[in-house]
Amino acid sequence: MMVGGGTGGTSEPGWTLEQAFAQIQQLLGMVAEMQQIIAQQEQTISQLQAQSAVIPWVQGQVSFINACRLYILVKPHEFTTLRTKITWVLGFMQTGMAQLFRDHFMVYMTTLEYRTQYLESIECDPIELLYQDIYKAFRDPNKQATAIQEITTLKQGSKLAEEHVQNFKQCYM
């Protein structure tokens, strides 16, 4: 029942004071529920915004560098300084040679050479210099030999690919 449900004119209203208070209480309860829902949604949004991308480190893969580029490009407000970008990228380099690269680079960041090469760079975005350094350090120097090695050690079932090739050749000779 809505307050003010009377017929108008000079007659008495169609509601009592108790009914008006009850309706006010009901509306206050609804407002409190809505405030609670809003608070929960704000908390959920904050949690989702706090989650960072998980970019797997893949040694020598351009996909790692591209994933870093994309994430930084999509969230520029989170990466306002070169130092933030660099430490975020290096944070994924946690094992093996990648960890060694990261540790050496962190020391390098304290040198004058770093300041000259990175901070005083004419590069549009000096983070590109880090990507180049990562690529140089982890690229495959002999892609052809690596591809041949992978193909010859590839297995299908219990046989090596080379055995399948030999069987195929025997069938047609």
Range of the domain at 61: 55-138
Is residue 126 assigned to a domain?
yes
pLDDT the model gives residue 96: 84
Closest CA to 66 of 109, 141, 128: 128
Tell me the C-alpha distance between 150 and 146, whole Å.
Answer: 6
Report if residue 22 sits inside a domain: no
**pLDDT given at position 3:** 54
Asked if the structure places residue 97 within a domain, the reply is yes
If you search the block for the tokens 């080379």, which residue do you land on? 162
Q: Is residue 98 part of a domain?
A: yes
Average pLDDT of span 5-32: 81
Mean pLDDT, rounded, of the chain: 80
Q: Note whether residue 125 is domain-resident.
A: yes
Please count the structural domains in the chain.
1
pLDDT, one tens digit per residue, over 71-84 is 999 988 988 989 99
Identify whether the C-beta of residue 104 lies closer than 8 Å to the C-beta of residue 144: no
* Confidence grade of residue 23 (pLDDT, cut at 50, 70, 90): very high
The answer to the question of residue 157 being in a domain is no
Ranges 23-37, 53-67, 115-129, most confident: 23-37
CA–CA dist 89, 114 (Å, integer)? 16
**pLDDT grade for 94, boundaries at 50, 70 and 90:** confident
The pair of structure tokens assigned to 66 is 């591209």
Q: Give the pair of three-digit tokens for residue 79.
A: 């990466």
Average pLDDT estimate for 116-131:
86
Tell how strand 155-156 and strand 159-160 pair up: antiparallel
144 located within any domain: no
Q: Classify residue 64: in a domain, yes or no.
A: yes
Given a cut of 70, whether residue 133 has pLDDT beyond it is yes
Q: Decide: 38 and 46 in contact? Cβ < 8 Å.
A: no
Q: What percent of the chain has pLDDT over 70?
A: 83
pLDDT band at 9 (very low <50, low <70, confident <90, very high): low
